[in-house]
């Protein structure tokens, strides 16, 4: 599925399923209503989490990955540190219906943020040039001579690529 559809659509659809599950959560009464809801939330959660490792791996050089995975782990746990107690306090103070809706609102906000910062077109390899590198720099060794020494390869932010290329 990921190879056919890509990480972004699968992860956003999974997040949408999570938000949708939270929206209909107040309607799930009894075990007959909760079991399908739990299943749907599990599918949504899996769709958001399973591609995360792939996304992180393609976003960093091998030597930078431990720090990136550690940062993602810390950030995800910081989010849980906020939302778990919030869900518990809201559930106790306002009831489960209000808690489902509040969590749905947080989920929808996260989806909107992800759509805004994660480009729909996010190729693994990006054409770019290095105006600041000497023509004999090792990074350009296999690049044919030409204007700007434009070349394409798997792109990650590193010392040679401090910023994402801007569209030409």
**pLDDT truncated to tens, each residue of the chain (168 aa)?**
777 888 899 999 999 999 999 999 999 999 999 999 999 999 999 999 989 998 899 888 899 999 999 999 999 999 999 999 999 999 999 999 999 999 999 999 999 999 999 888 877 788 888 877 787 888 888 887 776 678 888 888 888 888 877 755
Which residue has tokens 């996304």? 55
Q: What are the Cα distances from residue 118, in Å, to 43, 114, 122, 132, 142?
A: 22, 6, 8, 27, 30
Report the alpha-carbon distance of residue 103 to residue 136 in Å, rounded.
Answer: 55
Name the pTM for this structure.
0.81
Q: What are the Cα distances from residue 154, in Å, to 4, 39, 116?
A: 19, 37, 23
């Amino acid at each position: 599925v990921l190879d056919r559809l890509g990480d972004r659509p699968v992860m956003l659809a999974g997040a949408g399923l999570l938000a949708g599950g939270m929206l209909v959560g107040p309607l799930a009464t009894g075990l007959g209503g909760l079991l399908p809801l739990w299943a749907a939330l599990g599918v949504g959660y899996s769709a958001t989490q399973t591609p995360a490792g792939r996304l992180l791996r393609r976003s960093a050089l091998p030597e930078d990955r431990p720090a990136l995975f550690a940062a993602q782990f810390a950030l995800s746990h910081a989010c849980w540190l906020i939302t778990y107690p919030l869900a518990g306090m809201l559930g106790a103070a306002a009831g489960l219906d209000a808690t489902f809706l509040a969590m749905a609102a947080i989920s929808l906000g996260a989806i909107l943020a992800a759509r805004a910062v994660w480009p729909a077109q996010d190729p693994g390899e990006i054409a770019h040039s290095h105006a600041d590198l000497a023509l004999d720099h090792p990074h350009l060794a296999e690049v044919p001579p030409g204007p700007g020494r434009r070349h394409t390869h798997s792109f990650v932010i590193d010392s040679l690529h401090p910023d994402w290329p801007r569209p030409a």
